[in-house]
Copies of this chain bind each other. A is one copy, B any other.
Amino acid sequence: MSVRVASAELLARAAAGNLGAAARLISRAEAGAAEARPALAEAYRRAGRAHVVGITGVPGSGKSTLVGRLTHALRATGAKVAVVAIDPSSPYSGGSILGDRVRMSDLATDPGVFIRSMATRGATGGMARAALDAADVLDVAGFDSVIIETVGVGQDEVEIAKASHTTVVVSAPGLGDEIQAIKAGILEIADIHVVSKCDRPDANRTLTDLKLMLALGTADDAPDAWRVPVVGTSAITGEGIENLVDCIQRHRTAVPSDARAARARRIAAFRLEKTAENLLLERFQARFRTHETDRIESLAARSIDPYSTAIDLLNRTLHGGHVHEPLA
């Protein structure tokens, strides 16, 4: 039986290198626990040292295998590496991608590596808030690199990958039409492109297509602008992983300071928006669930409509009084 420890105490222990405490605080962030908010707010203010790398790609791109390889390679440079993986498992299954985690099992006994799966279920906006809170906690806990892995489908998932210092987009050869169309939507958020499965004969086509696309897009960039590299990797041969580590490290320092500051402002605005959305919807949904069952029958019979009902509900829920208690 574990005694209930205050979140502030968990943060203090995490900062002293206790990974169990970090994991527990992350669980509270994921659950949206009000008690954890002051500690997460403090983690935010104390964080900012780690390099946060967002890695995204369509299902089947070999992203999770790449993250395993990259974690190994970054660890080999001496860095402490944490991974926050946003699982595409639905609210109905609640599980994580076992296959992918198993591939990382050889990392499980290294105290310089921390791997955490987070579910995509939960309150709207809550996933982005929780994943970025987790990155702060891991930053405070002394990790040098925090990798946030998301599937590149869904607006929130793509936004989370963008809310990092370096965004890596993973492509793979030989995926179908439907996947390719999804992929097209995430290509332009890349600071670094990876083409995985480069041991396959059709990988050259994918590499060439990406390079051509980039050549067309960057003709009038400023001379000191970051040139998005395209890195071919193979999980079978290990090819390209060192090059990827090098690109990630170069990107950290090579981006001009004004571009870096603009990106920091964009990420800050995103976090504020997601945190506020999450707090707002949480309160609204709690009210909704307890008070509104009586009108659902009329709505189901279509004798009233959702717009009028929603407006009335919002006015009654939010009219007057303070919305939120003070943080602590």
> Which of B48, B188, B310 interacts with A279 by CB under 8 Å?
B310
CB-defined contacts of A58 to chain B, threshold 8 Å: 59
A201 within 8 A of B: no
Smallest CB-CB separation from A326: which chain B residue?
B311
Q: Flag if A296 contacts B272 (CB, 8 Å).
A: yes
Chain B proximity mask over A290-326: 1 for CB below 8 Å, otherwise 0 = 0011011101101111111111011100111111101
- Distance (whole angstroms) from the CB of A74 to the closest CB of chain B: 22
Q: Flag if A90 contacts B272 (CB, 8 Å).
A: no
Q: Flag if B327 contacts A311 (CB, 8 Å).
A: yes
A97 within 8 A of B: yes
CB-defined contacts of A155 to chain B, threshold 8 Å: 90-91, 120-121
Known contacts being A189-B92, A277-B284, is A45 close to B302, with CB within 8 Å?
yes
Chain B proximity mask over A132-163: 1 for CB below 8 Å, otherwise 0 = 00000000000000000001111101100000
> Which of B295, B296, B320 interacts with A320 by CB under 8 Å?
B320
Chain A contact surface mostly = helix
A232 within 8 A of B: no
- Distance (whole angstroms) from the CB of A167 to the closest CB of chain B: 12
- State the CA gap A181–B63 with chains docked (Å): 14
Q: Flag if A93 contacts B59 (CB, 8 Å).
A: no
Q: Flag if B99 contacts A177 (CB, 8 Å).
A: yes
Q: Flag if A88 contacts B280 (CB, 8 Å).
A: no
CB-defined contacts of A47 to chain B, threshold 8 Å: 302
Q: Flag if B151 contacts A307 (CB, 8 Å).
A: no
Q: Flag if B327 contacts A322 (CB, 8 Å).
A: no
A16 within 8 A of B: no
- State the CA gap A41–B25 with chains docked (Å): 44
A256 within 8 A of B: no
CB-defined contacts of A281 to chain B, threshold 8 Å: 277, 280-281
11 intermolecular pairs with C-beta atoms under 8 Å apart: A37-B307, A38-B307, A92-B186, A93-B184, A95-B184, A95-B185, A276-B284, A276-B310, A307-B327, A319-B321, A319-B322
Q: Flag if A97 contacts B60 (CB, 8 Å).
A: no
